[in-house]
Structure 1
Amino acid sequence: MKLKSLPEDFEVEELSDFPMDGGPFAVYLLTKRSLGTPEAITAICHRWNFPRKVISYGGLKDKHAVTRQWVTILRGPRRDFREENFSLTYQGQASRPFEPQDIAANRFHIVMRNLTPDAARRILSCRESLERYGVPNYYDDQRFGSLGESGEFIAQPWCQGNYERALWLAIAEPNSHDRPNDRDEKEIIRHFWGDWVACKGALRKSSARSIVTYLVDHPERFREAFALLRQDMRSLWLAAFQSNIWNRCLAATLQQHVSPDHCFPVSLATADVPFFTALRDSADQALRNLQLPLPSARLHLEPGPLLDLYEQVLSPLGLALRELRVKYPRDSFFSKGERQAVIKPQKLRMHQADHDDQNEGRQRLTLEFILPRGAYATIIVKRLTLFPS
């Protein structure tokens, strides 16, 4: 069974005990559909004329789902705000901003449609193994939206000090998510790359044109030009690269522990990775509480299997673990911490399949579950739909 896209009915609710105890931070519930969190925040900034630095939120919710998440604005207005694809509903006041660590979990409600009766039965039959063994806690494709046609991460040449290449990937490389205006702008930049005067003359006013304007006067200062890109976007590019490396480390770990007859491959945006249908007792024990650290130069590992694993994954990328850092600008850095290797959905409910009112002769199946912060519900969906027939 092929998974071509997200299920049509996909809802995410952010769970938190964030205290509204008075203070200068206005607290809002952001509800959106068909819109990414950064795009919604940009619209709020423009509408209320706030700099991005006064707005805080916990996570990036999927643009293809109906999502509800918390947002705080320092000295924000005590009123609601609505646009076509999102609403911001005032909730109260807090003494501090809402941050990622304030997210307790996320609750998901998913309706899978257009299923054959056989596919619906097979999905329902996976419930016991899903609850018992869980799924690999991969970062899913939504994490890698900045990856362009070359498949090269912007942060890779950035870490290697190749600022021209990093800038080209950021403002010139085609991306399947580009809007028509962005696609046209990137084509102009590629065509005139290096001829900055002509490039500036061909571009309409935009943030990319501002960078090109800088290069007109400083044609070789790619490092400084790259630093003109938005800091929040540069942080996302670092996170995407780090997440890809972590995924590869997890995939290599699973290959060490999981029996081949219990493995099946799944194609993510960046690589084919192993999933499992079951775990032997030894593998279950090894993976149950395993946490893999997020790779970066700030990770000081003693010589041994874990350091060897990270170096083996980084070597084909032309990097060592000590080189996984950026020297400039110093306002962006790789995250530090650990991530659970395997997760299990909590409060899992799989409603019996019934008639799909949108697809004649097909069935629909409803899933409800809770996942910890940072885990992807689409990984659960892939586990249920992409297993071998």
Structure 2
Amino acid sequence: MRIKVKPEDFIVYEVADIRPEPQGDFALYRLYKRGATTWDVIGDIARRLRLKASAIQFGGLKDRHAISYQYVTIRHGPKKDIKGKNYELSYLGQTKTPMSKARLKGNFFRLLVREVKISPEKLSREIALISRYGVVNYFDEQRFGSVKHGLGFAVKELILGHYERALYLLLAEGSQYEMKRTEAFRKCLKKNWPNFSACLDLAPSPWERRLLEFLASHKPSKRTFKRAFALVDREYLLMLCHAYQAYIWNETVKLYLKNLGLKLLPVPYLLGELLFYRDFPEELTEAILGTKIPLPSPRLILDQPLKELMEEVLRLEGIDGLEKFRTLAKGATFKTYPREVAIIPQKLKYETVDQNKVWLEFFLPKGSYATIVLKRLFLLPETN
């Protein structure tokens, strides 16, 4: 299976509870982008309008290797279209309240899947199974871009009190931006750590420069590295926290499904393997399609069976229980919310192009991953 060979193969339409109103303080736009991250486009728009990036509100991050349409608002923004290298911002009118994650309902996908090895008959059967039994609602690899280096989660090290290691992973091995853009900066840090002054001129953002200036002017120590986290961009730090929560959630759900006694089939992914079912007994419908499991948080209150499963995952990570799932670093917090164990894609349709290509269309609620649906549909191993 190959996807995203070209941006035109992966098209995402954001669905949100927002529309132009007769009046309002916020200019509403439809953002079209191709082959660019949401962060990079927002940054370019902010530079053009001489605004802070935080002044531009949006619902969610869209894949770089795709064509996407999403809503953006800017308080007292210009009533005109803006065109950039990889994007077009189309003015729709005014609205009284800004765009946010809360207004996001989900995304409609139109995807071309290449090099598929599945007969039309089997594809039709698998589509029917997914429409009846749904798909496990795992977080997919896009959520874990910060650990593609294979060295682990910066936030895990932060929880364990390994502040220098956490900072090294955050700065030298990861990036808030497109990795190529920060390559020289990260190479410099790896070569010169902890001689931070050597890399000051390569810092890709103001916050990273301020952070390096702080580190260069203080003696390296556990206290210094801990204090440095107060200078990390807050949104980026929260994104890293959420990535680690997502990993713990995935592992908890795998244990949950195993405990239900389901026949589970493995599919490899960046952080090991994901486990999928094809179907389940009728009596487990509520336990699978009607159940939500919250993301881990130190204040999370769970029923005992679920708590035991999540804490089993945490112990394997070296963290002694949910109450220890916290950090002492400023800004690194763990917001929790309930997430469906499994979801059923809506308006699911397919069209066979030839023996090896299939177009798929479906709608998913916010926070769910189209690539998980594709993994379930095309990558499950054969069974007898």
TM-score (ref. length: structure 1): 0.89
Give 1:131's aligned residue.
131
Contact 2:146 2:174 in 1 (8 A): no
Contact 1:105 1:371 in 2 (8 A): yes
Contact 1:59 1:100 in 2 (8 A): yes
Give 1:105's aligned residue.
106
Give 1:255's aligned residue.
258
Q: Which amino acid aligns with 2:366?
A: R
Q: Which amino acid aligns with 2:381?
A: P
Contact 1:288 1:342 in 2 (8 A): yes
1:20-31, aligned counterparts within 5 Å?
A: 20-21=20-21, 22-31=23-32
Change (3 A) 1:45 1:134: same
Instruction: Give 1:248 shift.
Output: 0.7
Q: Which amino acid aligns with 1:382?
A: K
**1:171 and 2:171 correspond:** yes
Q: Structure 2: how far apart are the matches of 1:205 and 1:102?
A: 34
**1:378 and 2:378 correspond:** no
Contact 1:258 1:276 in 2 (8 A): no
Give 1:95's aligned residue.
96
Contact 1:71 1:98 in 2 (8 A): yes
1:197-256 C-alpha deviation (Å, 9 max, x unpaired): 4x247x535334442222221133112323222111111101111111111111111111
Contact 1:56 1:97 in 2 (8 A): yes
Q: Structure 2: how far apart are the matches of 1:6 and 1:314?
A: 34
Q: Which amino acid aligns with 1:206?
A: P
Stretch deviating more after TM superposition (14-23 or 80-89): 14-23
Instruction: Give 1:266 shift.
Output: 1.1
Stretch deviating more after TM superposition (307-316 or 180-189): 180-189
1:281-330 C-alpha deviation (Å, 9 max, x unpaired): 2333421201001111121235x211111110111112121122233314
Q: Which amino acid aligns with 1:65?
A: A
Q: Structure 2: how far apart are the matches of 1:185 and 1:162?
A: 22
1:271-286, aligned counterparts within 5 Å?
A: 271-286=272-287
User: 3-state SS of the aligned residue for 1:155?
Assistant: helix
Match of 1:206 among 201, 204, 210: 204
Instruction: Give 1:4 shift.
Output: 5.1
Give 1:234's aligned residue.
237
Q: Structure 2: how far apart are the matches of 1:34 and 1:230?
A: 24
Change (3 A) 1:369 1:174: closer
Contact 2:116 2:378 in 1 (8 A): no
Instruction: Give 1:388 shift.
Output: 1.7
Give 2:156's aligned residue.
156
User: 3-state SS of the aligned residue for 2:146?
Assistant: coil
Q: Structure 2: how far apart are the matches of 1:28 and 1:47?
A: 15
Q: Which amino acid aligns with 2:337?
A: G
1:27-77 C-alpha deviation (Å, 9 max, x unpaired): 111111111111211111111111122211111111111111111111111
Change (3 A) 1:364 1:19: same
**1:217 and 2:213 correspond:** no
Instruction: Give 1:379 shift.
Output: 0.7
**1:12 and 2:12 correspond:** yes
Q: Which amino acid aligns with 1:317?
A: E
- How many pairs align? 372
User: 3-state SS of the aligned residue for 1:374?
Assistant: coil
Q: Which runs of 5+ in 2 are unaligned?
A: none
Q: Which amino acid aligns with 1:254?
A: L
Q: Structure 2: how far apart are the matches of 1:281 and 1:334?
A: 35
Give 1:143's aligned residue.
143
Q: Which runs of 5+ in 1 are unaligned?
A: 356-361
Contact 1:107 1:371 in 2 (8 A): yes
Instruction: Give 1:264 shift.
Output: 1.0
Q: Structure 2: how far apart are the matches of 1:258 and 1:88?
A: 50
How large is the Cα RMSD of the aligned pairs?
2.1
**1:186 and 2:186 correspond:** yes
Instruction: Give 1:195 shift.
Output: 2.7
Change (3 A) 1:162 1:115: closer
Stretch deviating more after TM superposition (10-19 or 128-137): 10-19
Contact 2:31 2:72 in 1 (8 A): yes
Give 2:34's aligned residue.
33
Instruction: Give 1:277 shift.
Output: 1.3
User: 3-state SS of the aligned residue for 1:157?
Assistant: helix
Q: Structure 2: how far apart are the matches of 1:309 and 1:253?
A: 7
Change (3 A) 1:87 1:371: same
Contact 1:200 1:213 in 2 (8 A): no
